[in-house]
Amino acid sequence: MSLFDRMKQGAAEAAKAAQQTMEIARLKSLIVLKQRDIGKQKKAIGDAVYEAYLREDIASSHDSAFRLCQGIVTAEHDIAELQEKIRMLKTVKACPSCGREVELGAGVCTGCGYVFPQVAAAESLQLEGEVRVLCGSCRTENALDARRCASCGKELGSWA
């Protein structure tokens, strides 16, 4: 590959990384807006209940509070979907046990040791040029911040 081709490839990769970063930032800003909306809806619930209390008719706040609660549940669902989109862009998944983000192809959570169900080969994505930690037991490459091996689950740094 010529120098020009390598420069062209590098520029294309940089553009893709910048685009990915911008998309993640956009999704995070949508999450912040949804979280603000949830805060407003919670305040509105409190206001509705308090106003009904002052009127000595607390039951009258039920319908509006119920509607607002449904809005909160919808916003929380939207936030979860946005967070999943961010994880897909970052090529990670969330551990169902501790919530830590781990590589898509990980068989074991690098934080708590949770063993994931068998992962499909298509999920196993590796990033080139990334600094990795080699497991002393099974020789699998792991993320730099991993405490446990993504393959065998052994604590990294232990050679047993």
Task: pLDDT tens for the chain, 160 residues: list them.
Answer: 688 777 877 888 888 888 899 999 999 999 999 999 999 999 999 999 999 999 999 999 999 999 999 999 999 999 999 999 999 999 899 999 999 999 888 889 989 999 998 744 434 444 445 667 778 777 788 877 788 888 888 888 654 4
Query: Model-level pTM?
Result: 0.65
Q: Does residue 85 share a domain with residue 104?
A: no
The verdict on 61 and 104 lying in the same domain is no
Same domain? 19 vs 42: yes
Q: Do 81 and 97 belong together in one domain?
A: no
Q: Are residues 86 and 140 in the same domain?
A: no
The encoded tokens of residue 143 equal 């993320």
**For residue 71, what are the contacts with CB-CB under 8 A and spacing of at least 6?**
37, 41
- The burial class, CB within 10 Å (0-12 / 13-18 / 19+), for 63 is exposed
Last residue of a domain, one of 90, 105, 140: 90
Last residue of a domain, one of 71, 90, 109: 90
Are 22 and 82 within one domain?
yes
Q: Among 66, 90, 114, give the residue marking a domain's end.
A: 90
- In the chain, the number of structural domains is 2
Q: Which domain holds residue 24?
A: 3-90
Angstrom CA distances, 99 to 96, 110, 113, stand at 6, 11, 12
